[in-house]
């Protein structure tokens, strides 16, 4: 399943999955549904999620850390922040170690993703997931669920990268020089947000939540139903 290939109607899809799923955690997840999708954006409970991986290919590479934090358009609650390290199946390359500032020993002592995947699902259940670049987070979690539960995990996503692309998009005849960068840090600078050290899953999740608040405040209509912006 690619990110493009998502259900037309999420509420129906969740209801169907809740019927079909065998694993209790996934069933709980689907039963919680996505009530926020039909509410105005301002009233929707959101959860910002970021994962760090050993590479870009969900079929070969592994998740090594997950960070998430609950928020809404007004506040990001650090008390809800969660952070997990996961021991990958394959060896960790030295490049990814430097990118993520995670050491070998930390990783070697970490549990497998499968041992806490239930907790991750419970933490995002009933909320709308916000990520920067849906093309990473969704397929990796999809693969992880398939491997662990033997059943698919899918959910609607608000993608700050996609939103930024549509905000900064100009037709080719108005373009001048390079397209604006859509990296998280570059997007944040357009909103006077501070610079953070990148590539730590929890801080990136916080960082993405801040960006979404800023985007919503400047460009989105808080009264529109959330489904208007999801992908």
Partner 1 sequence: MDVELSEILDTLCEYAPFADLKDEPILQEMVKDIEIQYLRVGEWAIAPEARNDNLFFIRSGAIETKNKSGKLLRRMHEGDVFGSSSLLRGGRSSHTMRALEDSLLYRIPARWFIQFYSEFDSFSDFFELSKEVRLKTAMDNQSSDLSLMTCPVHSLLRRPPITANHDVDIKTAANIMSNERVSSLLITENDSLVGILTDRDLRNRVVAKGLPLDVRVDMIMTQDPITVDAGDFASEAVLKMMATNIHHLPVVKNERPVGVISTGDLVQRESHGSVYVISDIFKQEDVEGLVQISKKMDHVFTQLVNADANTQMIGNAMSHIGVAFVKRLLQLAEREFGPAPIPYCFLALGSQAREEQTISTDQDNALILHDSYDKNLHGDYFRELSEYVCQNLDRCGYPLCTGDIMAMNPRWRIPLSEWKKTFAEWIEKPKAEALLHVSIFFDLRGIYGDKTLARQLNSHIRQLAKTNKGFLSALARNANQRTPPLGFFRQFVLDGEGKQSRTFNLKSRGIAPIADLVRVHALALGSSKLNTFERLEDIEEAGVMPDGRARDLILALEMIGMVRIKNQMNQIENGDTPNNNVDPETLSEFERRHLRDAFNIVSRQQEFLKYRYPGKG
Residues found near partner 1 in the complex (CB under 8 A) = 67, 71, 74-79, 81-85, 191-194, 196-197, 200, 202-203, 206, 209-210, 213-214, 217-218
What's the min distance (Å) between Cβ of 81 and partner 1?
5
What's the min distance (Å) between Cβ of 192 and partner 1?
4
- Which of 47, 63, 58 has its CA nearest to residue 113? 63
**C-alpha span between 171 and 147 (Å, rounded):** 42
**C-alpha span between 128 and 179 (Å, rounded):** 29
Query: Is the CB of 169 or the CB of 197 nearer to partner 1?
Result: 197
Q: Residue 94 has which token pair?
A: 């030295």
**C-alpha span between 78 and 191 (Å, rounded):** 21
Query: Is the CB of 75 or the CB of 231 nearer to partner 1?
Result: 75
What's the min distance (Å) between Cβ of 129 and partner 1?
18
Quote the Cα angle for 204-64-151, to 5°. Answer: 105
**C-alpha span between 179 and 172 (Å, rounded):** 10
Query: Is the CB of 182 or the CB of 203 nearer to partner 1?
Result: 203
What's the min distance (Å) between Cβ of 143 and partner 1?
22
Query: Is the CB of 77 or the CB of 89 nearer to partner 1?
Result: 77
């Amino acid at each position: 399943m690619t990110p493009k290939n998502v259900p037309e109607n999420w509420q129906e899809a969740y209801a169907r999955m809740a019927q079909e799923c065998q694993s209790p955690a996934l069933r709980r997840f689907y039963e919680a549904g996505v009530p926020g999708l039909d509410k105005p954006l301002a009233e929707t409970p959101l959860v910002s999620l970021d994962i760090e991986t050993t590479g870009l290919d969900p079929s070969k590479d592994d998740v090594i850390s997950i960070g998430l934090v609950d928020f809404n358009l007004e506040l990001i609650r650090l008390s809800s922040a969660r952070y997990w390290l996961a021991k990958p199946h394959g060896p960790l390359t030295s490049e990814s170690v430097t990118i993520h500032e995670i050491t070998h020993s930390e990783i070697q002592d970490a549990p497998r993703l499968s041992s806490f995947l239930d907790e991750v699902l419970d933490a995002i259940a009933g909320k709308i997931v916000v990520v920067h670049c849906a093309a990473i987070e969704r397929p990796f979690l999809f693969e992880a669920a398939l491997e662990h539960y033997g059943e698919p995990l899918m959910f609607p996503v608000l993608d700050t990268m996609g939103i930024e692309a549509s905000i900064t998009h100009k037709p080719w005849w108005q373009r001048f020089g390079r397209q604006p960068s859509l990296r998280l840090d570059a997007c944040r600078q357009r909103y006077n947000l501070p610079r953070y050290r990148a590539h730590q899953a929890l801080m990136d999740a916080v960082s993405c939540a801040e960006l979404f608040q800023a985007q919503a405040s400047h460009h989105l209509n808080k009264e529109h139903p959330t489904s208007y912006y999801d992908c």
